[in-house]
Amino acid sequence: MSRVSKTTSPTGDLLYGWFYSAGIGGSVVALFFLFNDSLHGHPFLTPTVLGSVALSGAGADAVTTVSLHSVVLYTLVHFAAFALLGFLVTVLFRFIRTRGGAATVITAIVAFTLMEGAMLTASATVMPGVLPRIGHGLVFGANAVTAASMALCLRWSSTPGYDAEDDIPEEREEELAETPALF
């Protein structure tokens, strides 16, 4: 007895790709800066700076201590932005893939360009001074790793013929078949 339906729907595939690419994208960039901030002895300073400048109007250089309030507020904005980006790159990936193009590479380039453009625009408008404070090289690197992660997520999640059930060892199939499915 199969626990997972082997049929898929275009809507389900779109939602799956959207959810995971957005979650992976938002998480990768957040973890990138958490790691960098931690290396420099100030975990969560980057989201504090971003949140304080964008949401409270503070000066980028004036923010010197971590504010969990700013971190939480900016995290909400951050993941909302990645929800939008995840949707856009998922639709783009699926569009290119159905036409036989190099969907993974093109999606990564477009995602990177959108993230860089958004950061440059935000830095010039609602977050003045943030880019020099954080460092454009770090932002560039984080955006590159994030764009590649999102595109690879979409590539791996849409590989034809891949079925997670094929990865279950035969000796566990009977045990799993006897376990009631949640859905």
What's the pLDDT at 33? 97
Nearest to residue 94, comparing CAs of 104, 85, 81, 82?
Answer: 104
The one-digit pLDDT tens for each residue of the chain (183 residues) are: 344 444 556 788 888 888 999 999 999 999 999 999 999 999 999 999 999 999 999 999 999 999 999 999 999 999 999 999 999 999 999 899 888 889 999 999 999 999 999 999 999 999 999 999 999 999 999 999 999 999 999 998 876 654 444 444 555 556 556 655 443
pLDDT per position as a tens digit, 68-89: 999 999 999 999 999 999 999 9
Contact 49, 133 (CB under 8 A): yes
3 state SS of 55: helix
- Domain spans in the chain, listed from the N-terminal domain onward: 10-161
Q: Which residue has the tokens 């993230």?
A: 115
Q: At 141, list the tokens.
A: 């690197």
Q: Which residue has the tokens 């001074």?
A: 129
64: number of CA atoms within 13 Å, CB side?
Answer: 2
